[in-house]
Amino acid sequence: MSRWALSERPRLRSPGRMKYDTARQTELLLLPERIVELNEAAGAILRHCNGQRTIAQIIEELQQQYGQRGLEEDIMAFFSEAAERGWLEV
């Protein structure tokens, strides 16, 4: 899926899960075939992807969390990339 609708409710592709690595002080995405070290922004976005929140809600929550507006384009681009890499599903 290359373009996501704001009403979709993304979640990590099963059986993927998130873990914070205290030694590296970074978020990790644990997948059956690999471990992905995430930057802060990617970790923040994926932590919100629980299948309950819509993309619109995730964008709003992240904009409030970081005190910034206009993050929609960047977040939507991340969703497309994450889906292509097999990290997310709806």
pLDDT for 2 beyond 70: no
Domains of the chain: 11-84 (1.10.10.1150)
Q: How does 3-34 read in b/e, with b if 16+ C-beta sit within 10 Å?
A: ebeeeeebebbeebeeeeeeeeeebbbebeee
pLDDT digits (tens, 9 = 90+) for 28-58: 999 988 999 999 999 999 999 999 999 999 9
Confidence of residue 71 (pLDDT cuts 50, 70, 90): very high
Pairing of strands 17-21, 26-31: antiparallel
Contact 53, 9 (CB under 8 A): yes
Q: Which pLDDT belongs to residue 1? A: 43
Write down the pTM of the prediction: 0.89
Distance, CA of 39 to CA of 19 (rounded, Å): 13
